[in-house]
């Protein structure tokens, strides 16, 4: 079946550096990808919706200059956490779908900022 690959699965970075997380749809063309964030013992919160070839739509309260999303192709979207700080430490999850197709999730990325 369709698979979404997310990389890396975990990353540790120093405060002030940037981190890029990749989300790939492996056997289908994803017209739309979504990025979520999950705090410990909290719900997954939608951060942004990314349509191939256009700018991402961010949810209220999500800083678009801090969380840069690029959806350059139908199989790849990236989330870059810029100038990361310890409060950005979290679990980030992507999902992908094609028109009228089910939503498929990546395995998530655990980001720790020291």
Residue numbers at the binding site for another protein (CB under 8 A): 4, 6, 32, 34, 41-46, 49, 93, 95, 97, 102-108
Nearer to another protein, 76 or 82 (CB): 76
Nearer to another protein, 16 or 53 (CB): 53
Show Cβ contacts of residue 100 under 8 Å, excluding neighbours closer than 6 positions. none
CB 9 to another protein: min, Å = 9
Show Cβ contacts of residue 4 under 8 Å, excluding neighbours closer than 6 positions. 23, 24, 25, 26, 30, 94, 95, 96, 104, 105, 106
Cα angle value 4/66/7 (rounded, 5°): 25
CB 41 to another protein: min, Å = 6
CB 68 to another protein: min, Å = 19
CB 97 to another protein: min, Å = 6
Contact between residue 30 and residue 96 where contact means Cβ atoms under 8 Å apart: yes
Nearer to another protein, 6 or 78 (CB): 6
């Amino acid at each position: 079946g369709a698979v979404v690959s997310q990389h890396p699965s975990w990353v540790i970075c120093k405060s002030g550096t940037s981190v890029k997380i990749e989300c790939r749809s492996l056997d289908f063309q994803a017209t739309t990808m979504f990025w979520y964030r999950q705090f410990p013992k909290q719900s997954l919160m939608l951060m942004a919706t990314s349509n191939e070839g256009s700018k991402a739509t961010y949810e209220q309260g999500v800083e678009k200059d801090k969380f840069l999303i690029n959806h350059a192709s139908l199989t790849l979207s990236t989330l870059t956490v810029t100038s990361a700080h310890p409060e950005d430490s979290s679990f980030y999850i992507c999902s992908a779908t094609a028109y009228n197709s089910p939503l498929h999730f990546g395995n998530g990325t655990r980001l720790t900022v020291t």
